[in-house]
Amino acid sequence: MRLRICEDRESLGKAAAGEAVSAIRHAIVERGTARIIAASAASQLEFLESLTSTPDVQWDRVELFHLDEYIGLPPSHPASFCRFLEDRLIAKTGLTKLYYLRGDQDPGEVIRRANDAIRTAPIDVAFVGIGENGHLAFNDPPADFETEAPFIIVDLDEACRRQQVGEGWFPSLKSVPTRALSMSVRQVMKSREILAIVPGRQKAEAIRACLEGPVSPMAPASILRMHSNATVYLDRESAALLRSDTVRALTSAVSAGSEV
């Protein structure tokens, strides 16, 4: 894993988008198509804006997998991640090869379809965030580091649900669903490349725990340190609590290949 620290959210978004586009283009040249995973969160806004405004990306050759979704929420709901992706990625690029996680459909059937689809070939690049509680996708602590199932049903902890209220997606804690569909930790880690886009002061504590504490299910995104082709993009605010020696070590790291 390596670390990149940018001055602010806008420069972070541009830098991460540049690397994302390179990964997509490389996959298309090598294999004729690119398979990607995209997160749906406020932390991704500047990144997705830069990504979708980049010219000459062959989006007709890109397959998109959905990272997570609330169980029971229809795509019409303002907090739906299906809606987030539709508004901020799909409508702007014309993507047609989509594997949605529909929160308003039978969870078991949604997972079965998603598992069948994702198992057909490796993911080229995953765009993820890190939650205020350190979650990766909707794998809240203590996360399941062992399951090989690509998609699972998870319970959302209070810290995760409070983050959704704080970001303005829901009016109150009681209105936030308590269960979700999520890509598993091991499935995220099977991606050939991972870009974690994590701006904002509210993420600083989680970043310190994930990058300086033990690799542990209690800090789910800490497992990114075990991936040899993962890059964590921070701004000055989200990196504020890191020790200088951590920053030096991780910013000088070189990514080469990926672990499965």
pLDDT in tens, 28-50: 999 999 999 999 999 999 999 99
Sketch the domain layout of the chain as residue ranges: 2-251
Q: Provide the pLDDT for residue 107.
A: 97
Please enumerate in sequence order all residues whose Cβ is within 8 A of that of 223, keeping only pairs 6 or more positions apart, or say none. 136, 145, 185, 189, 215
Span 91-111, average pLDDT: 96
Determine the 3-state secondary structure of 84 from DSSP.
Answer: helix
Cβ–Cβ contacts within 10 Å for residue 253, how many? 14
- Give the sign of the dihedral formed by CA 180, CA 184, CA 185, CA 189: negative
Q: How confident is the model at residue 253 (pLDDT cuts 50, 70, 90)?
A: confident
Q: How confident is the model at residue 258 (pLDDT cuts 50, 70, 90)?
A: very low
pLDDT above 50 for 69: yes
User: Given 3.10.20.440, 3.40.50.1980, 3.40.50.410, 3.40.50.1360, which CATH number is that of 2-251?
Assistant: 3.40.50.1360
Span 151-176, average pLDDT: 95
pTM over 0.75: yes
- Amino acid found at 127: F
* Cα–Cα distance, 218 to 238 (Å, whole number): 19
Q: Provide the pLDDT for residue 168.
A: 92
- Give the sign of the dihedral formed by CA 1, CA 210, CA 134, CA 244: negative
pLDDT above 60 for 248: yes
* Cα–Cα distance, 70 to 63 (Å, whole number): 22
